[in-house]
Amino acid sequence: MSLPLFTTLRRMPARELSRRLFGRFPQAIGYVVLCLGTGLAGLGLFYLLVVTLALCLVGTGFLLLPLVLRLLRRVAEFHRRRVSRILGTEVVTHYRGVDGDTRRPRLSMGDPAVRKDIVWLLAHSILGTTLCVAAISACGGAVNWLSAPLWWRLAPRERDAVIIITVDSWPKAIGAMFVGVVYAAVAAGIVVALARVHALGSRKVLVTRARVPLEQRVQELSVTRAEALDAHDAELRRIERDLHDGAQAGIVAVSLRLGMIKRALKARPDQVPEMVDATQQLAQQALESLRQLVRGIYPPVLIDRGLIDAVRALTALNEVPTSIDIEDDAAAAPRAPAAVEAAAYFVVSEALTNVAKHSGADSALVRLRIGARSISIHVEDDGRGGASEHAGSGIMGVRRRVAAFDGTTELVSPPGGPTVLRVEIPCGS
Amino acid sequence: MRILIAEDNALLREGLVLLLAGEGHEICATVDNGTDLLPALLEHRPDAAVVDVRLPPSFRDEGLRAVVEARRQIPELPVLVLSQYVERAYAGELLAQSASGVGYLLKDRVGNTEEFLEALDRIAAGGTAMDPEVISQLMIRRAGDDPLSTLTQREREVLALMAEGQSNPVIAKSLFIAESSVNKHIGSIFTKLDLPTSASGHRRVLAVLTYLRA
């Protein structure tokens, strides 16, 4: 199992490697520090809001309320932008607008979006701040250990037990530094994880679904419907083409051979048995291509288990040992359309068939990332490379099927390998 | 004779090569895409070409367009076009230049080896070979006060076979009637449709097809 991981690391470009190792940390720590600030400021704002609401009971609060709500909106919008950046997906909310114009928010306590912002403010100030303090103190500990060789000489005698062990000699200081490296790695992981938890939680509270005017909704729907029809159209054409190239051509070829056999029966009957064998093989090929097409239209396993488990099953069954790496970012988003999932499944299935049939590889890797907007697939093997689109490798079928959804297909396969197939299919929503 | 084959499906291409070579023909070239077809036709000038309508790269009607262009440069270059489906527009484009040395058959017909080889011989000799499906589509199209409706059932059958490019003896044989009856029917058809009765051979086919496409 360690071999594929090793080869993956070895082949990863330096930039990619550093992104993997440190990539998310700077962004995460920035987010955490910022949240600590807005969290503390949020406490003040929340206090202000409570006072204002109390003043509303005697009337004067109504003058102050719009101002406080505008301030709240600013803080919330600012935070939505931070969350968008860290999660890589756009986080937007929908305030009720003046006369239904959502670009001019009315901001009242009756607006569900405003009320959710208030809930967020409280949660962010209390829970969020606690999370951030935990994350930052983890980093502080790491710095403390790491920097032991720098300060242990300077520390006053009675305070030399600053960290768990008493650092009073060079070997101990150097040792502490090494422990610090481990500590730092763990702390970095904690920071990244906490930032993500914070961002995911914030997104949950900060988003209110739009109450879009009916007219606009109808317009949006007709556009997506037209796109869906286009995709459907392309998909039908693909099936027609596959039938044309596969089963239909196969049956015509069988018919042609039978015609030849009929003639041979009179002229050269000794050759007939051999010709019959060849013809039967052709018929079996045609059947096989038909079976594959039917299975490819919508694999039953997708209904039973869903895309992720279906792909897992594919990799587990592959002749070449195949490791798998799945990232599901769309847990909250609706499931991708069935046709898209079927296409994704088909791509992995074709790619793994190729690996088993043509690559001569010892190991392969499937990376599946399911996002809210697209599904990306990365299939890599350590085989001999040199895969081409015209050698009956099925890549043409993959390209065609992916193109039907406006997706992209990229095949990199230099002679000597490795072969990498990258496919991205938009989810069409 | 020297034959050029343009077919993108490897199974079918090999099958055609086997069949035609087995019949003693020389395969002067095989082409598997539309881009190479026109240069190959012009270079080899085969005695007959067997061409699939739909070829890569665009899988539309590359084969047909290459054939039409080749026949513009080499008039009456014998070509047998194979198609997965009957498309009247395709037949129309082919016949627009000349019906001489042109065949348009459904791919399925290659299974009927005798007829396929016979059609190939016919177009190589400058004749016409139209798929019965094409002809029946051409005939169905017309309705109402159309002169075709004045033909008797038998006359319609004779007209259809004539339009396919069959000769009188073949028409007589396939309808189980005497050749003299065929001649009689043809005379009657030409009168009813107001076609030039003097026409014979390919000119006759041409007249019939022109009439049907009008």
Looking at the whole model, is its pTM more than 0.90? no
Nearest alpha carbon to residue B88 among B127, B135, B51: B135
Nearest alpha carbon to residue B12 among B55, B43, B44: B55
Nearest alpha carbon to residue B51 among B33, B24, B76, B74: B33
List CB contacts (< 8 A) between B112 and chain A.
259
Q: Side chain identity at A161, as an amino acid letter?
A: A
Give B85 to chain A, closest Cα distance, Å. 10
Contact A259 B111 (CB under 8 A): yes
Asked whether the beta carbons of B122 and B165 are under 8 A apart, the reply is yes
Nearest alpha carbon to residue B175 among A159, B186, A278: B186
Q: Side chain identity at A191, as an amino acid letter?
A: V
Q: Which residue does chain A place closest to B58, by CA atoms?
A: A241
Q: How many interchain CB pairs under 8 A, A with B?
A: 48
In this predicted model, what pLDDT tens digit does every residue of A75-108 receive, in sequence order? 888 888 888 888 777 777 777 766 555 556 667 7
Contact B15 A263 (CB under 8 A): no
List CB contacts (< 8 A) between A259 and chain B.
19, 110-114, 116
Contact A256 B19 (CB under 8 A): yes
Compute the average pLDDT of residues A207-220. Answer: 71
Contact A256 B15 (CB under 8 A): yes
Q: Which candidate from B18, B54, B107 shows the least CB-CB separation from A260?
A: B18
Residues on B contacting A at a C-beta cutoff of 8 Å: 9, 11-12, 15-16, 18-19, 22, 54, 59, 84, 107-108, 110-114, 116
What strands lie across the sheet with A322-328, from one edge to the other? Answer: A322-328, A364-370, A374-381, A419-426, A408-412
Please list, in sequence order, all residues whose beta carbon lies within 8 angstroms of the beta carbon of residue B61, skipping any fewer than 6 positions away. B53, B54, B90
**CA–CA separation, B54 and A123 (whole Å):** 65
Tell me the longest C-alpha to C-alpha distance in chain A: 112
**Backbone φ, ψ for residue A352 (5° rounding):** -70, -35
List CB contacts (< 8 A) between A256 and chain B.
12, 15-16, 19, 110-111, 113
Per-residue HEC secondary structure of A152-168 comes to CCCCCHHHCCCCCCCCC
> Mean pLDDT of all residues in chain B?
86
Contact B9 A256 (CB under 8 A): no
Checking if the pLDDT of A2 tops 50, the result is no
Contact B12 A257 (CB under 8 A): no
pLDDT at A1: 40
Place of tokens 């009927």: B112
In this predicted model, what pLDDT tens digit does every residue of B23-38 receive, in sequence order? 999 999 999 999 999 9
List CB contacts (< 8 A) between A248 and chain B.
84
**CA–CA separation, A235 and A340 (whole Å):** 10
Checking if the pLDDT of A186 tops 80, the result is yes
List CB contacts (< 8 A) between A268 and chain B.
none
In this predicted model, what pLDDT tens digit does every residue of A31-81 receive, in sequence order? 888 888 888 888 888 888 888 888 888 888 888 888 888 888 888 888 888
List CB contacts (< 8 A) between A240 and chain B.
none
pLDDT at B159: 87
pLDDT at B200: 62
* pLDDT-above-70 percentage for chain A: 85
List CB contacts (< 8 A) between B54 and chain A.
244
Residues on A contacting B at a C-beta cutoff of 8 Å: 241, 244-245, 248-250, 252-260, 262-263, 282, 285
pLDDT at B5: 96
Contact B110 A255 (CB under 8 A): yes
Nearest alpha carbon to residue A68 among A107, A96, A34: A107
Contact A253 B18 (CB under 8 A): no
Q: Side chain identity at A47, as an amino acid letter?
A: Y
Q: Which candidate from A252, A257, A282 shows the least CB-CB separation from B107?
A: A252
